[in-house]
Copies of this chain bind each other. A is one copy, B any other.
Amino acid sequence: MNAIPAEIDTPDIMVELDVLDRNIERMAAALRAKGLRLRPHAKTHKMPEIAARQLAAGAVGLTVATIGEAEVFAEHGATDLFIAYPLWIGPRQAERLRRLAGTAKVAIGTDSVEAAEAAGRHLGAAAAGIEVLVEIDSGHHRSGVRPEQAVAVARAAAGAGFRVAGVFTFPGHGYAPDMPAKAADQEQQALGRAAELLAAAGFEVTRVSGGSTPTAELTGTSATTEVRPGVYVFGDAQQLELGRCTMADIALTVAATVVSRHEGDDTTPRRLVLDAGSKVLGGDRAAWATGFGRLMDHPEARITALSEHHATVLWPDGGDLPALGERLRVVPNHVCVAVNLVDEVAVVSGGKVVDRWRVAARGRNA
C-alpha cells in the first residue's frame, strides 16, 4: 500500500494525502488547545492546495518569506499574509506591496531604522495600510534586533507611516539536538521582553509571533500570540533526527530507483546509488545530521554522499542490498528546499496517484 505507484517515473516527489491531512490537523489542534493562533509558513510547500487545507483547519492566515510568494498566494485567494522577513524596499518593491495590500491584509517585518525609513519613503501613504512587526533576535543571531533595540525600530516604522502591530522572531537555533526546548524558552523571554518594552513606549501590541516546527508545540503562552511552523505539514529527516516526528508522520518522500549496486571489497564500500541527488533532495546537511536524507523503509541505511543526480547509500553488512531497478522512498533532510526543486508533486493515496499539485510559488525568491 505504501509502495511507489507504477505510473511514477523516478526521481519524483510524492505527497501522501492522508498523512498530510493528519499533520495539518494535529498541529492545528495542539495550538488551538494552547490558545495560540497558527499562521503556517507557506514557503515549505508553496502550494495553494495545501494552504487551503491549513486555512480550513483553522489557520488565521499565512506566513511567507518574499513578496513574490505573497503575490502567488494572494492570487489564489489568501486574504491575510505576513511576509516574515526584514524586507529592503525600493520603488519596485513598494509598487508590488501597494498592489498586494489592495487585495489582502499585509504585514511585513523590519529590523532596522534604515529599512523602516526607506520603506516608508517609497510606500508613501500606502504604508498606513500595512502592518509592521519588528524582528527580534531570540538567540539564532541571524536577522533581528535585541529586545532593548525594538522600540527605536518601532518608532522609525511608526514615523514612516506604518501601523506597528508587534514583534516576531525565528528561533532557528532550535534546529539542533536537545535545543528545541531551550530555544522555545529563549524565544518566549525575548518576545516577552520586546513586547513589554513596546507597550511601555505606548505601542498597542496585538501580535507577538514566534515558532518553528521544532519549537511550535513547546511555545510558551505568556507572551506569544501566534506561531509560524512550516515543515510540520510534511515532516523531514531533520525533524525525525531531532525527535520532533516519527517515520509515520512523514508525508513527503522522493521516489528513487537503484541505478548502481556494489557489494564492495577491500577498497570500495558496500553501497547503492539512487537516482535522487541534490537536484531533487536539496543539499542541506546540518552538522548533526546522520546523512543527506533517510530511506523510509530502511532506517539503518545512510546516504553518505550526494551529487546532483546520485545519492550514495552505505548499506549495513547484515542486510541484503536491494536489487538494481528496485524503487525506494527517500526522506529529504529539509523538505522546504526539496519542494522548491520541482514544478509539481504527485499526490498519493491508497497506493495510487490521485492528483498532481503545482508548486505555484516555486522559485519566487524576490
Tell me the A residues contacting B by CB distance below 8 Å.
Answer: 9-12, 43, 65-66, 85-88, 90, 92-93, 111-112, 114-115, 118, 135, 137, 141-144, 146, 172, 257-261, 268-269, 271, 273, 275, 278-280, 282-285, 305, 307-310, 312, 323-325, 334, 336-337, 340-343, 363, 365-366
- Verify A342–B366 contact, CB threshold 8 A: no
Take A86-B273, A280-B365, A284-B283 as given contacts and tell me if A112 and B324 are in contact as well, using a CB distance cutoff of 8 Å: yes
> Among the listed B10, B115, B257, B325, which residue makes an inter-chain contact with A259, where contact means beta carbons less than 8 Å apart?
B115
Interface residues of chain A: helix, strand, loop or mixed (majority): loop
- Verify A88–B340 contact, CB threshold 8 A: no
Closest to A276 in B: B365
Q: How far is the CA of A88 from the CA of B323 in the complex (A)?
A: 12
Closest to A113 in B: B324
Closest to A257 in B: B88
- Verify A114–B324 contact, CB threshold 8 A: yes
Contacts of A341 in B (CB 8 A): 340-341, 363, 365
Q: How far is the CA of A137 from the CA of B12 in the complex (A)?
A: 27
- Verify A88–B275 contact, CB threshold 8 A: yes
Q: How far is the CA of A141 from the CA of B341 in the complex (A)?
A: 26
- Verify A66–B325 contact, CB threshold 8 A: no
- Verify A141–B269 contact, CB threshold 8 A: yes
